[in-house]
Amino acid sequence: MQRAGRALAVVAPFLVYALTPGDLSEHAPLALAIASFAIVSWMTHALDHAITGLIACYLFWALRVVPFHTAFGGFGTPTPWLVFATLLYGTMATKSGLARRIAYMVMRAVGHSYSRLLLGLLVSDFLLTLLVPSGIARVVLMAVVALGLIEAFGMGPGSNIGRGIFVLLSCTTPIFDKMMIAGAASFTARELIEKVGQVEVLWSQWLVAFLPFDLILIFAAWRLTLWLYPPEREALPGGAEFLEEERRRMGSWTTLEKSTALLGAVAVGLWVTEAFHGIPAPLIGMGVGLAAALPILGVFKGSDFKKFDFLPVLFVGSAISVSGVLMETKALDGLIGFLTTAAGPYLLNAWSSTLVLYWTAFVYHIFIGEEISMLATSLPVLMQMAQAQGLETLSLGMIWTFAAGGKIFVYQSAVLIVGYSYGYFDGRDLLRVGLALAVVQSVALFVVAPFYWPLIGL
């Protein structure tokens, strides 16, 4: 597979360059060719994700497709540094022992069977969406608990328990972000729907509209994970007695645990109250991550940074850069026009429009991985087309935004990159779970939306 991927990554750019229509901008054909190399390599794992991204950024710059500040522009956005900060917090939670302590607290509350613990993690992640407006932050917070649970089960990377927990959290978190207005992507979508679609978007109406889908997704994702990754152990070894014994062995809280918990409380508190103080999540995350290295807290030492894996940060920055170059060169204008023109005739019927819109957005998201860029480049076109045809802009915009939550490749979301960086699942796990959940989402839309949404005024 890897050899075939490497061959395809070399051949694809030449084919794309040769077949690109000549009516696009001057640099669009070369931009698309280089981007096709990155996308094919990311899909097939021909090279490391971060190395692939850096090669693409370098080629954009070296071949004068765009200037340096555009070719590497993704590194000047907050997202890569939020990834860095949240990975720092996950590392210090594990190092301090806080992850293990929290895991045992959770297990004592929900029970010691793997099935109940898995459902507890999923529901907790969903409820946290209301409080923490950052999918990356939530994955890191949940990973703290997950790492402790996996350790308590005596498992590690490669185990079904570890793979199931991390691929589940990584796949569902970006979807939860789209089923309520609680993240950068959904905030962007709301603004574009209101501005271009000229319709009011209510937070409460959005929440109520997707509530049935939340319940369907939680149940389907839970059962799917149990089916695909049957646990090596059905229950925690030793059961309740083991939990109590481990709690006693951990003893009182250490200074390192208290420092880590304090930093975590500050981060969560600021994330929860972002609407009041306006401090963005990346700024909060970086502040907390760097504060952990101060001598007064002593959570991190210089030697800890030397062991840190910076590849996820480079991957996020380069992936955003690729999307930025495609937008800057207007290389996607033809694709957007083709997709909307092809989808237009099928948007007159409630049932066909849900399926066509969902899968059109799903496919488009593969070409432009970063979800905010995906929405920013396509929603205005969709809204304009809907207005021209006299269609209901709000419901179409909500379906398109919902589809942005479906992902099958790591490069499509910084949340997936963070979850992937823990090393518990690979691209094949993501492909089969992500695709299965995408099918569930589309079926739920087809069955529920045409009947339920009119009842709530959509």
| pLDDT above 90 coverage of the chain, percent | 15
Q: In sequence order, what DSSP letters do the residues of 336-367 get, joined into one string?
A: HHHHHHHHGGGTTSHHHHHHHHHHHHHHHHHH
Task: Give the model's pLDDT for residue 341.
Answer: 65
Per-residue pLDDT for 337 more than 90? Answer: no
Q: Are 365 and 408 in contact (CB under 8 A)?
A: no
pLDDT tens figures, 407-416: 888 878 878 8
Per-residue pLDDT for 112 more than 80? Answer: no
Q: For residues 85 and 290, what is the distance between their CA atoms, to the nearest angstrom?
A: 8
Task: Give the model's pLDDT for residue 272.
Answer: 63
Task: Give the model's pLDDT for residue 159.
Answer: 92
Give the pLDDT band (50/70/90) at residue 224.
Answer: very high
Per-residue pLDDT for 160 more than 90? Answer: yes
Per-residue pLDDT for 27 more than 90? Answer: no
Centre a 10 Å sphere on the Cβ of residue 396 and count the other Cβ atoms it contains: 22
Task: Give the model's pLDDT for residue 26.
Answer: 80
Q: Are 238 and 113 in contact (CB under 8 A)?
A: no
Any idea of the CA torsion for 49, 280, 126, 350, to the nearest 10 degrees? Answer: -80
Q: For residues 428 and 122, what is the distance between their CA atoms, to the nearest angstrom?
A: 21
DSSP 408: -
SS3 for 316? helix
Radius of gyration of the chain, Cα coordinates, nearest whole angstrom: 22
pLDDT tens figures, 179-223: 887 666 777 677 778 777 788 777 778 888 898 999 999 999 999
Amino acid at 95: K
Please return the burial class of 165, using the count of CB atoms within 10 Å of its CB with bins 0-12, 13-18 and 19+.
buried
SS3 for 235? strand
Amino acid at 158: G
Alpha-carbon distance values, 256 to 245, 253, 278, 285, 296 (Å): 22, 8, 30, 19, 11
Give the pLDDT band (50/70/90) at residue 2.
Answer: low
Task: Give the model's pLDDT for residue 429.
Answer: 92
Q: For residues 166 and 432, what is the distance between their CA atoms, to the nearest angstrom?
A: 14
Q: Are 177 and 129 in contact (CB under 8 A)?
A: yes
Q: For residues 146 and 163, what is the distance between their CA atoms, to the nearest angstrom?
A: 11
Task: Give the model's pLDDT for residue 439.
Answer: 93
Average pLDDT score over residue span 255-282: 76
Per-residue pLDDT for 135 more than 70? Answer: yes
* Paired residues of 235 in beta bridges: 113
Average pLDDT score over residue span 361-380: 76
Find, among 378, 320, 358, the residue nearest to 75 by Cα: 320
Phi and psi at residue 201, to the nearest 5°: -115, 115
Per-residue pLDDT for 151 more than 90? Answer: no
pLDDT tens figures, 57-110: 999 999 999 999 999 988 887 767 766 776 677 677 767 777 667 766 766 777
Give the pLDDT band (50/70/90) at residue 342.
Answer: low
